[in-house]
């Protein structure tokens, strides 16, 4: 599977492989299976993903970091609350 991944990465990075002729030549010279070559040539990405048993769905989310000032204020408030409770 790493050969197909390396080929796809190379095709995405190398501007010289943007023409159909260069792309087809690179696919033919690659070390991938005949089935994968045909799927790439015919641009059947869904079927290629199926043959590799990969998921084409990508889920991404971001969690913002807390501000350091907010954390310090929160810690200071907790400390003052604890001191007040001990003094009473």
Residue 75's alpha-carbon distances to 62, 82, 87, in angstroms, are: 25, 11, 18
pLDDT over 80 (residue 32): yes
pLDDT over 60 (residue 50): yes
Mean pLDDT on 14-21: 84
Q: Helix (H, G, I), strand (E, B), or coil: what is residue 58?
A: coil
Buried b vs exposed e over 53-77: b needs ≥16 C-beta within 10 Å?
Answer: eeeeeeeeeeeeeeeeeeeeeeeee
Domain ranges, ordered by start, for the chain: 2-51
For residues 57 and 3, the model is more confident at 3
CB atoms under 10 Å from CB of 48, counted, come to 19
The model's confidence at residue 52, banded by pLDDT at 50, 70 and 90, is: confident
């Amino acid at each position: 599977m790493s050969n197909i991944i390396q080929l796809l990465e190379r095709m995405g990075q190398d501007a010289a492989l943007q023409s159909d002729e260069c792309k087809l030549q690179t696919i033919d010279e690659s070390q991938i299976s005949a089935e994968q070559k045909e799927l790439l040539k015919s641009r059947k990405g869904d079927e290629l993903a199926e043959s590799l048993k990969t998921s084409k769905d990508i889920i991404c989310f971001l969690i913002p970091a807390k501000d350091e000032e907010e954390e310090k204020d929160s810690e200071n408030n907790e400390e003052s609350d604890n001191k007040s409770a001990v003094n009473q």
